[in-house]
Structures are given as C-alpha cells and as structure tokens.
Structure 1
Amino acid sequence: MDFTVAIPTFNGSKRLPEVLDHLQKQVGTEDIQWEVLVVDNNSNDNTAAVIFRYAEQWHPQRQIKYIFEPRQGQAYARSRAVKEASSELIGFLDDDNLPAENWVAEAYQFGKNNPQIGAFGGIIHAKLDQIEPPYFERIKGYLTIYDRGDTAFCYERKAKLRRIPAAPGSVIRKQAWQECVPPPEKLLIKGRDETTMAAGEDAEVMFYIQNSKWELWHNPKMEIWHHIPSYRLEKSYLLKLARGYGLSIHRTRLARFYPWQRPLLSFLLPIYTFRDSLKVLGYYLKYRNAIEHDLAKACEWQAKIGQLYGPYLRIKKNQ
C-alpha cells in the first residue's frame, strides 16, 4: 500500500459522506495503491452504517476500512490509525475536511520524493455555509484556516517564531510517528476538552517529530477545505473557542520541549504568570472600549485570559 487516508471521527455520520464523496473523486491516483481508514472514536450515532454503505459501492481498486476505537480522544484515534495503516505515508483528514481532487496524488508524491520529511501539511481554505462575515479574516486562525504561501518550505526548529504544520490535511510518515511519538497514554494532551475547548493534541505530535532528526514541511500543492457550519461563526461559540485556544497554549508550550526539560519549566511558571498578567491588563486598558462591539477583539481578549489560566487548568486536571 502506497498511501493511507485516516479519518478519525466522533458522531460523524452526517459529516462523513461529504468527505468520502470528495475522496471518491480523486484524480491522478491510477498508479497509487491507497486506502481509507475511518476510525470511529466511540460514536453513538450511525457512523458505522454510513461507512458500510459506502464500502458496498467503493472503488474496486481502493479499500475503505471501518475501525472502532473505544478510548475517547483524538490521541487514541490517531494512534490507532497509525497502527492499522498499511502504508508508510498517512494523510489525516478530520470528518469536516474536504480534500481537493488531487490531494492524495500530491501528498503521496511529495512524501515519496522527500524521504527525510517526517510530516508535512498544506493549505486549508474555509468552506462556509453563509456569506463570509466582516470579522472572518481576523478570527479564521481559531477555526484552523491557514494559507502559508505557494512555496514549499521547511519549518525550522530553531526559528525565532517556531511553527509547525496545521493538523487538518497533514501527512505523517509512519516511521517518524513510531520513533518519536509516545503511546497515547503518555501524551500530555489526549483530545479536546468539550467543557473548556482546550485542545492541542495534534500540535504535540508535530513537536515530538520536529524535536527529532525528521523534518517538517509545508507543501502548497496539498489543499483542503474546512467545512464550517453557521453555528461555528456565532459569537458565543467563537468566544469559547478563543478561550480554549488560550488555555491550550501552555500545554503545547510544554510539548515543544524535550521531556527532560519540562520539569524545569515549573520554575518559570511564576514568570509566565506575571508576563501573561501584564499582557491581559495591557490589552484590556488599550481595547476595553472595543471588546464589547468588536468580535475579533473580544476573541483575542478571551485567548489572552485563557493563556493566563492555562497552566493552572493543567495542574488542576492532573490532580
């Protein structure tokens, strides 16, 4: 098998058909042996029935497999996908990610031509169910909408602004995962906390790979569309999402460091708290009149508050 498309999902029966329809329309894959793995992460809807229905009329030269993972959390679902994948290159799609018709071909070719790369991502566009609101450009990052240019580049570990590929639509080499990523039980982040919206499990995996001999890259020829329903653009949802983004920063900050370095960071916690407190205060004093009526400013305000509280949320949850 040359390539695996892995789709972790939880109660995705209504979202999955659109993703699978796009995968059925892939072009340029005549000489590629590839499969689709749908990892059902303990759903209680009819996700399984949807997959079995598609399997009955799936392309005869491809494969689609249904896998049930009872342990809740993206970390468990993605780890199970890696274990079950029959290929070295594994492309991850969320159940609301719609790949371009050449996504599989471009992902496979890039990975095949660059064996030193452990993981790579592409461009993520937005597919909205409504007219784009005026504030969208300023809040799209919270919704994982990224366009990092039309030129391929390596994400340097020693760069001043350390970056990694966004998880949706990314490809990870199985060997890199097996060498660098701990079992899901030992990861700092298991999945999104639905109460606080704190997440970051995908970023943790990318940082583990970036901290190794493997390279991380941007491949602009890989494009997906993130399908965003209207409710995700409502004020209440965006404010909660932004707060969760801020709460996740400390956990992903820990993941950037080698395990032996992490205990040392506890001594820096008072410094982080003091610095983040100043940022919160400074932001409020500067934009307090705009926060009420400017949604983008309100989201940024919530993200800064979340960043301040993040370290203590982690300590509380571990206790």
Structure 2
Amino acid sequence: MDWEKKIDYSLVICTFNPDKRILQRCLEAVWQLDTTGISTEVILVDNNSDLPLHQQSYIKIFEEKIPGMHILLVPEQGVNYARMAAIEKAAGNYIVYFDYDNEPESDYLQELKKLNEQFPAVAAWGPGKVTVDFIDGVDNAIRHFASMAFQQREEQTVRTARENSWQSCYPFGTGLCTTASLLKEFVQLARQGRFTASGRKGNKLSSGEDTQMVLHCISKGYAAGVSPALKLTHIIPQNRANSQYLQRLLYGTFICYETCLLQVFPEQKKTLEQKIMPRWKFSRKSLKKFIRARWSKDPHKMFDLVEFIATNAGTYAALNKPVPLPVNQIVRILKVE
C-alpha cells in the first residue's frame, strides 16, 4: 500500500475468534461501501485469534476484493490494545470503528463526509439508526431490553452536544467516526497511564474506552453527536442474546463510567463525592433488590439490580473507596464481573 497517498477514512475492524457468519457480513458490507470521491484503507485487526485471520480462506478473498485492506496482528489481548494499535497505524484524517458484528449501509461514508463538512465543530459521529439483528433468535421476554442494550437507535434528527458528562446523543462505539488527530492524542495519553479503561478482554465486558474517546473530544472543545443518515445493523448471535450475558454487559458498561469521566474531567471529583451513596444505604438497597430479583420471574428485576449495583460501585471505584462487603458478595453470586 502507498502510505504517502492521502487517506480520508481509515476503517478499523477489531476481531478475536470471530464468528465467520458475522464477520463475513461485516466485510461484505464494507466492500459494498460507496467510496466515490473518498480514499480509504481498511485495517482488520486480529487480536490474537486461535486461528489467525490471515490463514482463513474467506478472509483472503476479502483481502483481494477490498481496496486498501490489510491485517494487523495485535498479540496483546484486549479490544483496547487492538484499537490503540490500529489508531497508531491509521493514516486517515478520520477513523471509523466498525465492530466485526456491524453491517453499515452502503452510503455510510458518503453521509459521514457530508456531516464532517457541514459540522466541523463535531469531532465524533455515530449512527442515529441502529437495527439489531438477533440472527439466532431471542426470548421475547427480553427482546426489547436486549435491543436497547445492543444500542438500537431510532433518531429522527441530527443531535449533538458538548457537555462534560455523558449525553443521550453521544455516540457509542458501534460505527463511531472520530477525528484521527484527537484519537492519536488519546492513545498517547493512554500509553502514559492517563486513561486506563481496558475495554473488553476475555470474559470481561467493560467498554469504557469508547466513552473516554468521545469525552476526550469533548474535553478538547469539540462536540459529539449522532445522525439518522448514518445507518447500520448490529448482528447479535445466540451466545449474547441471553439474560446472563446481558447482566454481564450491564455490569461492564456501568461499573467503569465514573472512572472514565473522572480521568477525562478531574474537576468532576467534587460532584462524585457529593453523590456517592452511603455504605449502609448501598448495602441495604442492594440486598432488597437482590431478594426481590431472586424471587421474581421477571428478568428485568435482575437487570435493574445489576445496573443499580454497577452504577454505585462505579462511583466507589472512581473515588478509590472499597465497595461494601455485602455488595461484593452479591456480585460474586451473580457472576457478572
């Protein structure tokens, strides 16, 4: 590849032991992207898969089909390490993250180009239309909740904000497009230990690095937002479309937020200190919710419990305070860490 050539968009796809059905759909969609007037590269990150991607025949086919596609091997396990390596390698003015279970619409890059030209003060964009495809089905009792957990969105208008706390219009990691120079600065700070969100690694489902990337853009004076013109499908297999996985996903998402926020905006510490729940109250409410959830046949009671514990335990963690013992015991019983 000619690294001297100007690149508009670097498309990054991180994988670890990917489901062939899903990665094939993702790569097929990337191949179908309309790149008229747009220069691109595609960095397919192999985060140390048991069967290396470059040895798989269907990957070789896509390497030949997709212009500018190359495989980047990152041996250090964890999606954050994979992403940081890709950011450092990326040559584009913008970096677009497609998780390997994302299927973008063919006009995704064209719509991004329009948005970046029309809104130069917005440094992070995400899709306003996300459809969740449960390819192996899902229990109707949890379908709506699961769809929301997997980032289904139905925005009707462009929405942006520039607040130093998470806003409903801020983009998630799915289909996230960010100004490359800001991400490269983010990686430098992460390498120096300023940002510590590790991302998903093995069975741990923490996903704070997405949050910190967006908040870092905000800290630099830019806005972030979503647009209904950006559309993609989020492909979810059976091993993630179940209550136990959703509980772990909830825990991993909420446990890290306050730490992510505080590392980007240290001035938020006083606010956190004022909102932290007293230990006795945290323990009592957790036990009450736990008993109700255990006796209930409604899976949403358990989801509510996990979100409550993770949100408040996340505040304790951000302030380096020990979580009450009864709460830790509940977390161990639930097996959500």
- TM-score range (shorter-chain normalised) is 0.7 to 0.9
Matched, 1:89 2:97: no
Q: Which amino acid aligns with 2:51?
A: D
| Residue ranges of structure 2 left out of the alignment (5+ in a row) | 1-6, 323-337
Deviation at 1:151, TM superposition (A): 0.7
Deviation at 1:131, TM superposition (A): 4.3
Q: Secondary structure at the match of 1:57?
A: helix
112, 121, 139: which is aligned to 2:126? 121
97, 104, 110: which is aligned to 1:99? 104
292, 299, 304: which is aligned to 1:295? 299
Write the distance in 1 (CA, Å) between the matches of 2:226 and 2:103. Answer: 18
Q: Secondary structure at the match of 1:3?
A: strand
Residue of structure 1 in register with 2:159 after alignment: 153
Query: How large is the RMSD of aligned CA atoms in angstroms?
Result: 3.1
102, 111, 119: which is aligned to 2:116? 111
The answer to whether the Cα contact below 8 Å between 1:73 and 1:192 also exists between their aligned partners in 2 is yes
Compared CA separation, residues 125 and 56, structure 1 to 2 (3 A)? closer
Write the distance in 1 (CA, Å) between the matches of 2:228 and 2:176. Answer: 11
The answer to whether the Cα contact below 8 Å between 1:176 and 1:214 also exists between their aligned partners in 2 is no
Q: Which amino acid aligns with 1:93?
A: F
| Residue range with higher mean Cα deviation, 209-218 or 233-242 | 233-242
Q: Which amino acid aligns with 2:229?
A: K
Q: Secondary structure at the match of 1:219?
A: strand
- Alignment length, in residue pairs? 309
Q: Secondary structure at the match of 2:239?
A: helix
Residue of structure 1 in register with 2:326 after alignment: none
The answer to whether the Cα contact below 8 Å between 1:8 and 1:94 also exists between their aligned partners in 2 is yes
Residue of structure 2 in register with 1:241 after alignment: 249
Residue of structure 2 in register with 1:23 after alignment: 30
Deviation at 1:49, TM superposition (A): 2.4
TM-score (norm 2): 0.79
Q: Secondary structure at the match of 2:153?
A: coil
The answer to whether the Cα contact below 8 Å between 1:155 and 1:162 also exists between their aligned partners in 2 is no
Residue of structure 2 in register with 1:36 after alignment: 42
Compared CA separation, residues 72 and 183, structure 1 to 2 (3 A)? farther
User: How big is each residue's C-alpha offset from its partner over 1:191-219, in whole Å with a ceiling of 9 and x where there is no partner?
Assistant: 22545533311111111111221121212
Matched, 1:217 2:225: yes
Compared CA separation, residues 37 and 274, structure 1 to 2 (3 A)? farther
| Residue ranges of structure 1 left out of the alignment (5+ in a row) | none
Write the distance in 2 (CA, Å) between the matches of 1:235 and 1:91. Answer: 30
Write the distance in 2 (CA, Å) between the matches of 1:55 and 1:312. Answer: 46
Residue of structure 2 in register with 1:172 after alignment: 178
Compared CA separation, residues 272 and 115, structure 1 to 2 (3 A)? farther
Deviation at 1:263, TM superposition (A): 6.1
Q: Secondary structure at the match of 2:92?
A: coil
Q: Which amino acid aligns with 1:175?
A: S
Matched, 1:136 2:135: no
Q: Secondary structure at the match of 2:72?
A: strand
| Residue range with higher mean Cα deviation, 305-314 or 7-16 | 305-314
Residue of structure 2 in register with 1:79 after alignment: 84
Compared CA separation, residues 271 and 69, structure 1 to 2 (3 A)? same
Q: Secondary structure at the match of 2:65?
A: coil
Compared CA separation, residues 283 and 39, structure 1 to 2 (3 A)? same
The answer to whether the Cα contact below 8 Å between 1:38 and 1:67 also exists between their aligned partners in 2 is yes
The answer to whether the Cα contact below 8 Å between 2:276 and 2:312 also exists between their aligned partners in 1 is no
Deviation at 1:117, TM superposition (A): 1.8
The answer to whether the Cα contact below 8 Å between 1:149 and 1:220 also exists between their aligned partners in 2 is yes
Write the distance in 2 (CA, Å) between the matches of 1:160 and 1:33. Answer: 32
Residue of structure 1 in register with 2:209 after alignment: 201
The answer to whether the Cα contact below 8 Å between 2:123 and 2:223 also exists between their aligned partners in 1 is yes
Identity %: 21
